[in-house]
Structure 1
Amino acid sequence: MRQRYLALLSVFASLPAVAITFQTRLESIEWKVEGDKFECRLTQPITDFGVGEFVRRAGEQATFRLKASGSMLGSGSATLLAAAAPWQPGRGDINLGSVKMSNGGIPFNSSQGQAGRLMAGLLEGRSPVIRHYSQEGGSAVEVRLLPVRFNKAFSDYQACTAKLLPMNFEQVKQAQIGFPGNGVDLDAPARAKLQVIAEFLKADPTVNHIELDGHSDNSGNRLTNRDMSRRRALAVMDFFKTQGVQEKQITLRFHGERYPLVPNTNAANRARNRRVNIQLERVAPDEPAPVAAASNAAATS
């Protein structure tokens, strides 16, 4: 009997104790929704800690993260839970796996899948919980968000996400317009892709410079190929001009067959090489765009 008692003591002694929980009082819970065409945020302030927030960027699904006003969690890993509420008998916590912690102002970012399950859990009355055990002493710090008043805020958040652009800057800053036919006209898929880019340019005036590089396959002679690559780049430039982009914001180059994506060994490969590469940039107002230099380079390429 004594040995069994000592064994139980040993088990309980090895269990980490929750030393502190950061959680806002029930009557003070609030959810905030903020955003624009580029990003939507759904946040809950956490007393004495910071905030927990869902962040969805244009062109992506949401992630969940903490923003801490101090270094309360430390580095290492933590367990992410969709915890059942005390008033939900028979429900257990859902373990969503571990997250890597850091000492910065944003201790971690969840995966998109984890964030989706946390949102679904909040709609069911569950709480996002981050539980971090220190390696020294076995104590833990727990951060908990509460589902109080979540449904109305979630509806406002959905209204915000419905207005997001189809893509963010990282996704749109480099693109490729193909010319699968052996011509210079933009087909429907090319126009649709260019329209997405144009809408982004209208929404973000800080993106104020476009570089266009025209390419051809090797089906003609050198002069013909260079002219085809020039006309393809001009077709893309003309599209942007119809969307309000000024010509002085565009740098145009054309390279003929000099830079193939794949060897020109068959029809499919040649179709891939007939293209215009697009790169968007933010150029400071006092930094001149290299239009003239690019034109000279094109003329001698």
Structure 2
Amino acid sequence: MAKPRHTKLPNWFGARLLSMSGALYLIRLMMVSLIVANVMMPTQALAQRYIVPFDSVQWQFNQSVDQCVLQSFDPHTGFSVQFVLLAANPLKIKVEKRGVRSLPSSTSFNTTEPVWGISKSYTTTTIEKIQQQGSALVTADGATLLLEDMASGAWFNINAMDFDIYFPTTNFRPALDEFNHCRFGLPPVNFQHARRVELHFQSGAVALTELQKRTIDDISSLVKRDPKIVKILIDGYTDNSGDSVANLQISKQRGSDVAQWFVENGVSKKMIEIRGHGDRYPKYDNTTEEGRDKNRRVEIRLVRK
């Protein structure tokens, strides 16, 4: 039987193996170091910074009867920024990204100094208390402060782990001036609040209180501004106390007094329709005092075309 042959390797071969093992160890050590560095890296360092180009950033103003909007949209990133003021509501900031159903909860809204570093002192604000509403991030906290910063030249910034977007305030002033003119001319109520209102009455009372008159004043202001509102439906009701015939008369009188106050505020009679229902159609429980108090009511409904 032939004996197995043993080949003697030269000394330099073993030295080369040791050298290769050391190199592999160093490579592994470097990879671990990079991973740890990425884990420890702050959020801002991971975000991709993007500044909307000066020649493409556009701030625009839009309005409806009861709402003012100052907005900008960047087609490159798909981000839109809106400052929204609805009548009788605080100013809100609304941020969305085209094609995205939700944005990270860690997103913050900020104002920052412009990148060109002019020596002017800028006031900046950071807002982290933001809510998800549908596909948008919305907040009212600090919205006025951010807008004031931007009026002085600061930029709007949207920051999260994956993005760091800057909207310069280039050509901002004309749209802001229109927005401010709109906000000071809004009616005291918006359509969503005024479209259905209940006025409640003490037992046997038909006269309007001062608070009820002010409510009608506010609704009248909206009606006169909004050409889409074509009808005011006024329905009077009572509780089930007393005689049904008397209740019917009281409900009609309450409705007529409400209608008359609308007319005194400059609303056309042709828009108003009055109905008295007496104790029919109770909306609340007449077996309780609270329910009867609520059933003595006049309902005001606004109809838009």
User: Bigger radius of gyration, 1 or 2?
Assistant: 2
Give the direction of change, closer, same or farther, for the CA distance of 1:190–1:261 in structure 2 (3 Å limit): same
Farther off after superposition, 169-178 or 252-261? 252-261
1:84 aligns with 2:112: yes
- The separation in 2 between residues aligned to 1:101 and 1:184, in whole angstroms, is 43
- The separation in 1 between residues aligned to 2:295 and 2:127, in whole angstroms, is 48
1:212 aligns with 2:241: no
- Residue in 1 aligned with 2:126? 94
- The separation in 2 between residues aligned to 1:248 and 1:156, in whole angstroms, is 32
1:276 aligns with 2:288: no
Q: CA deviation at 1:258?
A: 5.5
Contact 1:82 1:126 in 2 (8 A): no
1:108 aligns with 2:136: yes
Q: CA deviation at 1:250?
A: 1.6
Structure 2 letter corresponding to 1:33:
F
- Residue in 1 aligned with 2:102? 75
- 1:249-260 equivalent positions in 2, closer than 5 A: 249-256=272-279, 259=282
How many residues were matched structurally? Answer: 268
Give the direction of change, closer, same or farther, for the CA distance of 1:261–1:146 in structure 2 (3 Å limit): same
Uncovered stretches (5+) of structure 1, i.e. residues with no partner:
134-139, 284-301
Structure 1 letter corresponding to 2:188:
P
Q: CA deviation at 1:129?
A: 2.2
- The separation in 2 between residues aligned to 1:83 and 1:280, in whole angstroms, is 40
Uncovered stretches (5+) of structure 2, i.e. residues with no partner:
1-25
1:227 aligns with 2:255: no
Contact 1:241 1:247 in 2 (8 A): no
Per the alignment, in what secondary structure is the counterpart of residue 198 of structure 1? helix
1:129 aligns with 2:157: yes
Per the alignment, in what secondary structure is the counterpart of residue 165 of structure 1? coil
- Residue in 2 aligned with 1:244? 267
CA RMSD in angstroms, aligned pairs only:
3.7
Q: CA deviation at 1:74?
A: 6.0
Q: CA deviation at 1:178?
A: 2.8
What percent identity do the matched residue pairs reach? 19
Give the direction of change, closer, same or farther, for the CA distance of 1:203–1:118 in structure 2 (3 Å limit): same
Q: CA deviation at 1:98?
A: 4.9
Per the alignment, in what secondary structure is the counterpart of residue 225 of structure 1? helix
Per the alignment, in what secondary structure is the counterpart of residue 113 of structure 1? coil
1:164 aligns with 2:196: no
Give the direction of change, closer, same or farther, for the CA distance of 1:74–1:109 in structure 2 (3 Å limit): closer
Per the alignment, in what secondary structure is the counterpart of residue 104 of structure 2? strand
**Which of 184, 191, 199 is the equivalent residue of 2:213?**
191
- Residue in 1 aligned with 2:35? 10
- Residue in 2 aligned with 1:61? 90
